[in-house]
Chain A
Amino acid sequence: MSDWLIALNAIVAREALRFFHQRGRFLSALVRPLLWLVVFAAGFRAALGLSIAPPYQTYITYETYIVPGLVGMILLFNGMQGSLSLVYDREMGSMRLMLTSPLPRWWLLFCRLLAGTGISILQVALFLAVAAAYGIRFPLAGYVAVLPALVLAGLMLGALGLALSSTIRQLENFAGVMNFVIFPMFFLSSALYPLWKMAESSAVLRDICAINPFTHAVESIRFALYAQINLSALGWTAVWTVLLLALAFRGYDPARGLVARKA
């Protein structure tokens, strides 16, 4: 096995071990979207309005609408959780150990992102299974078609977490990330309400939502779940992934990023 694959294997195995040992984390990752689905969305069952926007071809309940957004929520929280554990790793010293590897730093970080995305997808699969049991089902082809969209969205949000973690000096600062990144990203997106609904309250709000990368991630997932492709959403998600990856790799570059600033 080449050195690159050994590194990938080791990093993925470490993340998987960490994940499976933290059952609480697994449960909380599932409970959060389920609470939104079963409690929050229940009150809005028939409240979505009249427009039928693609990919939907008929009227849907709010619960059906919100599921792709909650899938995005799992990826978003996991991306941020990844950033939290990177800060933790840095404080504990295991990050230093990993980064001493002779392999390129970007590859190590990318492996880390892949591992995080893989774990997110496991959680998404479980969430979709519970949602199906609850009565919200998608076409069978959608469950397969959604995989590439999940990988791309997972990488994008992971890269965002990585970029953020390169700027966070201490674990305590992570609360700020929650308030200033996760919540605005989630609420100012199409996860909870379609953009046409946002436009009814304010065109500015709609525009903000329309440029939010999380909106593009959610929309690519939404279309993929119905075995359709939203090229614009997928394209923007890909562009944001590349941008955020570049930013993250730059942040971890010893000559430029936080490491340099600390020194």
Chain B
Amino acid sequence: MNRFLLFRNILGGRRPATAGRRGADSPPLRLAISALALCLATSPLAAGEIWVSNEKDNTLSVIDADRFEVTRTIPTGERPRGITFSRDFSRLYICASDSDTVQVMDPETGEILHDLPSGEDPEQFVLHPDNRHLYIANENDAVTTVVDVETRKVVDQIDVGIEPEGMAVSPDGAIVVTTSETTNMAHWIDTETRKIVGNTLVDARPRHAEFVKNGSELWVSSEIGGTITVFDVPTQAEKAKIRFEVKGIHPDRIQPVGFELTDDEKTAFVALGPANHVAVVNAETYEVEDYILVGRRVWHMAFNGDKSRLFTTNGVSGDVTVIDVASREPIRTVKVGRFPWGAAYRP
């Protein structure tokens, strides 16, 4: 049983009525209950939330990262997909794809403060380490739009391949990468000049990109190719290719999209889409070590604060699976809105 539920039962759920009344009246027990309640209030039980965008419901679900319960459902623009917080977590940026805008929300109140000009059909974006420039992939326009979140103006638009989606920024902010789903390329953009400085081929339909290991490696997942390509950043050369094979699942259904690395960057978790599994990859040897069963069509994921739990968005089954990182076991699945897509952590 969940520790919290057990605790709640001990506190008062399962006692006979008479015994309960007498027991609660006795000073030592009342003191103990107060002490426990105080522990509960000051323990890290309320330490963090996972925000999930529900693509078909036009809402966000906010999940308590410790109790695994949806605490709030907040309306957004049409078809919310990529979401990210500002560095100080005071603003949430939402790609409202069918509203053709990036919305800025106050996460405390859930109020939309204003819209940013994003270009058409924004799908994913990345916030530059300067906390000021958003790099947005405009899926229908084959451009990457750079928006200044303070002046709320488009600073630049960079032509990239067809159907750009994945966005990544290096930790030093010098390079931004856009992946284009139809051109099957990663486009390397110099953030000083805002010009493409390199194009590298990847497998079919690249969906997500991340700089890892202090920016020395770029990982790009390819949905149809069924692989993750690892690039050496200084040379932009392919370094490794990660392939997946899930027992009993047809290879066509293995479609890697989102992925996250643990703090020590030794382990990566990769969402495999309609294979309904998350792969556990050794990020040093690039070997797959395990597969974890989650809900249907898993796209993206987010860690909680101490990275002990991973929350995956399962689009078709409309839920979020919580994975215990240490044991690599799925421990709970939480119902959210229809077609959950992106996920982000807020302390």
Given contacts A227-B1, A228-B1, is CB(A45)–CB(B247) below 8 Å? Answer: yes
Question: At the interface, yes or no: B248 with Cβ under 8 Å from chain A?
Answer: yes
A243 vs chain B, min Cβ distance (A): 28
Question: At the interface, yes or no: B133 with Cβ under 8 Å from chain A?
Answer: no
- Whether A57 and B331, one on each chain, are in contact in the complex, defined by CB atoms closer than 8 angstroms, is yes
Given contacts A59-B321, A228-B1, is CB(A46)–CB(B331) below 8 Å? Answer: no
Q: Which residues of A contact B331 (CB under 8 A)?
A: 57-58
A 45-66 to B, binary, CB cutoff 8 A, 1 in contact else 0: 1100010100001111100000
Which residues 320-347 in B have Cβ within 8 Å of A in the complex?
321-322, 330-333
Nearest A-chain residue to B316, judged by Cβ: A50
Given contacts A46-B276, A50-B296, A50-B317, is CB(A58)–CB(B330) below 8 Å? Answer: yes
Q: Which residues of B contact A227 (CB under 8 A)?
A: 1
- Whether A58 and B332, one on each chain, are in contact in the complex, defined by CB atoms closer than 8 angstroms, is yes
Question: At the interface, yes or no: A42 with Cβ under 8 Å from chain B?
Answer: yes
Nearest B-chain residue to A139, judged by Cβ: B1
Q: Which residues of A contact B296 (CB under 8 A)?
A: 50
B 231-257 to A, binary, CB cutoff 8 A, 1 in contact else 0: 000000000000000011100000000
Q: How many inter-chain residue pairs (CB < 8 Å) link A and B?
A: 32
Q: How far is the CA of A138 from the CA of B249 in the complex (A)?
A: 24
Question: At the interface, yes or no: B294 with Cβ under 8 Å from chain A?
Answer: yes
Nearest A-chain residue to B275, judged by Cβ: A46
Question: At the interface, yes or no: B293 with Cβ under 8 Å from chain A?
Answer: yes
Which residues 283-334 in B have Cβ within 8 Å of A in the complex?
293-296, 317, 321-322, 330-333
Q: Which residues of A contact B317 (CB under 8 A)?
A: 50
- Whether B322 and A45, one on each chain, are in contact in the complex, defined by CB atoms closer than 8 angstroms, is no
Q: Which residues of A contact B293 (CB under 8 A)?
A: 46, 58-61
Nearest B-chain residue to A47, judged by Cβ: B248
- Whether B333 and A46, one on each chain, are in contact in the complex, defined by CB atoms closer than 8 angstroms, is no
Q: Which residues of A contact B333 (CB under 8 A)?
A: 52, 57-59
Interface range on chain A (Cβ under 8 Å from partner): 10 to 19
Which residues 167-216 in A have Cβ within 8 Å of B in the complex?
none
Q: How far is the CA of A146 from the CA of B232 in the complex (A)?
A: 52
- Whether B1 and A59, one on each chain, are in contact in the complex, defined by CB atoms closer than 8 angstroms, is no
B246 vs chain A, min Cβ distance (A): 9
Q: Which residues of B contact A58 (CB under 8 A)?
A: 293-294, 321-322, 330-333
- Whether B332 and A59, one on each chain, are in contact in the complex, defined by CB atoms closer than 8 angstroms, is no
Given contacts A42-B248, A45-B248, A46-B249, is CB(A57)–CB(B332) below 8 Å? Answer: yes
Interface range on chain B (Cβ under 8 Å from partner): 10 to 19
Given contacts A58-B330, A58-B333, is CB(A46)–CB(B322) below 8 Å? Answer: no
Q: Which residues of B contact A57 (CB under 8 A)?
A: 331-333
Q: Which residues of B contact A46 (CB under 8 A)?
A: 248-249, 276, 293
Which residues 18-67 in A have Cβ within 8 Å of B in the complex?
42, 45-46, 50, 52, 57-61
Q: Which residues of A contact B248 (CB under 8 A)?
A: 42, 45-46
Partner of B330, one of A42, A59, A228: A59
Q: How far is the CA of A57 from the CA of B293 in the complex (A)?
A: 12
Q: Which residues of B contact A60 (CB under 8 A)?
A: 293
Q: How far is the CA of A228 from the CA of B6 in the complex (A)?
A: 11
Q: How far is the CA of A44 from the CA of B249 in the complex (A)?
A: 11
Q: Which residues of B contact A61 (CB under 8 A)?
A: 293
Q: How far is the CA of A230 from the CA of B77 in the complex (A)?
A: 44
Q: How far is the CA of A50 from the CA of B322 in the complex (A)?
A: 16
Q: Which residues of B contact A50 (CB under 8 A)?
A: 296, 317
B222 vs chain A, min Cβ distance (A): 23
Nearest A-chain residue to B296, judged by Cβ: A50
Which residues 87-121 in B have Cβ within 8 Å of A in the complex?
none
Q: How far is the CA of A52 from the CA of B293 in the complex (A)?
A: 13
Nearest B-chain residue to A45, judged by Cβ: B248
Q: How far is the CA of A64 from the CA of B322 in the complex (A)?
A: 18
Nearest A-chain residue to B317, judged by Cβ: A50
Q: How far is the CA of A45 from the CA of B253 in the complex (A)?
A: 15
B327 vs chain A, min Cβ distance (A): 10
Q: Which residues of B contact A228 (CB under 8 A)?
A: 1
Q: How far is the CA of A60 from the CA of B331 in the complex (A)?
A: 10
- Whether B247 and A59, one on each chain, are in contact in the complex, defined by CB atoms closer than 8 angstroms, is no
Q: How far is the CA of A61 from the CA of B333 in the complex (A)?
A: 14
Q: How far is the CA of A93 from the CA of B248 in the complex (A)?
A: 54
Q: How far is the CA of A61 from the CA of B248 in the complex (A)?
A: 11
A38 vs chain B, min Cβ distance (A): 13
Q: How far is the CA of A42 from the CA of B330 in the complex (A)?
A: 20
Q: How far is the CA of A123 from the CA of B248 in the complex (A)?
A: 29
Q: How far is the CA of A46 from the CA of B295 in the complex (A)?
A: 11
B253 vs chain A, min Cβ distance (A): 10
A18 vs chain B, min Cβ distance (A): 40
- Which of A58, A60, A61, A227 has the most chain B CB within a 10 Å cutoff? A58
A153 vs chain B, min Cβ distance (A): 21
A–B Cβ pairs within 8 angstroms, 25 of them: A42-B248, A45-B247, A45-B248, A46-B249, A46-B276, A46-B293, A50-B296, A50-B317, A57-B331, A57-B332, A57-B333, A58-B294, A58-B321, A58-B322, A58-B330, A58-B332, A58-B333, A59-B276, A59-B293, A59-B294, A59-B295, A59-B333, A60-B293, A227-B1, A228-B1
Instruction: Name 14 extra pairs, CB < 8 A, besides A46-B249, A59-B294.
Output: A46-B248, A46-B293, A57-B331, A57-B332, A57-B333, A58-B294, A58-B321, A58-B322, A59-B276, A59-B293, A59-B295, A59-B321, A59-B333, A228-B1
**6 nearest CB pairs, A to B:** A58-B333, A45-B248, A58-B330, A57-B332, A59-B293, A58-B332
